[in-house]
Structure 1
Amino acid sequence: MELTQLKYFYVAAECGQITKAAEKLHIAQPALTQSVKRLENELGVKLFERRGRSVVLSRCGEYLHRQLGVVLKTLERIPDDLTRIADLEEKTIRVNIIAASLLVTELIIKYKKLNPDIKFHLYQSADEENCDCTVSTEFTGLTPNIPKNCLYRSFTEEIRLAVPADSNYARQNFVNLSDAKGEGFISLSGSKPFHSICDTFCRTVGFVPNVIFESDSPSTVRDLIGSGMGIGFWPAYTWGDINTDNVALLPISVPDCRREITVVCNNTESAAAVDFYNFLCDNIESVHRESLKKF
Structure 2
Amino acid sequence: MKFKEEYPETILEIVPQNSDSANASRTDLTLFSSLKHIDNDHTITLFRENLVMVFPTGTPYAHLPYVNLHDLSDMDFIMPPKGFLLRKTVEAYCKKAGFTPKVILESDNPDTVGEFIRAGLGIALVPQMTWHNAQIHNVALPVGDQECHRDLNISWKTDSKLSLSAVLLREYIVDHFWEFVRDNANKTFPMQ
Q: TM-score, normalised by structure 2?
A: 0.80
Greater share of helix residues, 1 or 2?
A: 1
Ranges in structure 1 where 5+ consecutive residues have no aligned partner = 1-106
Secondary structure class of the residue paired with 2:12: strand
Q: Which residue of 1 aligns with 2:170?
A: 277
Q: Distance in 2 between matches of 1:122 and 1:251?
A: 32
Aligned amino acid, residue 32 of structure 2: S
Q: Distance in 2 between matches of 1:184 and 1:155?
A: 29
Give structure 1 regions of 4+ aligned residues with deviation exceeding 6 angstroms: none
Q: 1:195 to 1:227 in 2, by over 3 A?
A: same
Ranges in structure 2 where 5+ consecutive residues have no aligned partner = none
Q: Which residue of 2 aligns with 1:213?
A: 105
Q: 1:144 aligns with which of 24, 34, 38?
A: 38
Contact preservation (8 Å) 1:187, 1:214: yes
Q: Which residue of 1 aligns with 2:150?
A: 259
Aligned length, in residue pairs: 182
Q: Distance in 1 between matches of 2:37 and 2:48?
A: 13
Secondary structure class of the residue paired with 1:208: coil
Instruction: Out of 153-162 and 235-244, give the one that drifted further.
Output: 235-244
Q: Does 1:181 align with 2:77?
A: no
What's the CA shift for 1:143?
4.7
What's the CA shift for 1:275?
1.6
Q: 2:27 aligns with which of 115, 131, 135?
A: 131
Q: Which residue of 1 aligns with 2:9?
A: 117
Q: Distance in 2 between matches of 1:226 and 1:178?
A: 22
Determine which structure has more spread, i.e. the larger CA radius of gyration: 1
Q: Distance in 1 between matches of 2:92 and 2:135?
A: 27
Aligned amino acid, residue 284 of structure 1: F
Q: 1:189 to 1:125 in 2, by over 3 A?
A: closer
Contact preservation (8 Å) 1:185, 1:230: yes
Q: Which residue of 2 aligns with 1:6?
A: none
Instruction: Out of 262-271 and 154-163, give the one that drifted further.
Output: 262-271
Q: 1:117 to 1:291 in 2, by over 3 A?
A: closer
Q: 1:248 aligns with which of 135, 139, 148?
A: 139
Secondary structure class of the residue paired with 2:103: strand
Aligned amino acid, residue 204 of structure 1: K
What's the CA shift for 1:242?
4.2
Q: Which residue of 1 aligns with 2:62?
A: 170
Contact preservation (8 Å) 1:184, 1:209: yes
Q: Structure with the greater relative contact order (CA < 8 A, sep ≥ 6): 1 or 2?
A: 2
Q: Which residue of 2 aligns with 1:157?
A: 49
Counterparts of residues 57-68 of structure 1 (less than 5 Å): none
> What is the root-mean-square deviation of aligned Cα atoms in Å?
2.6
What's the CA shift for 1:169?
1.4
Secondary structure class of the residue paired with 2:144: strand
What's the CA shift for 1:114?
4.8
What's the CA shift for 1:191?
6.0
Identity of aligned residues (%): 25
Contact preservation (8 Å) 1:159, 1:234: yes
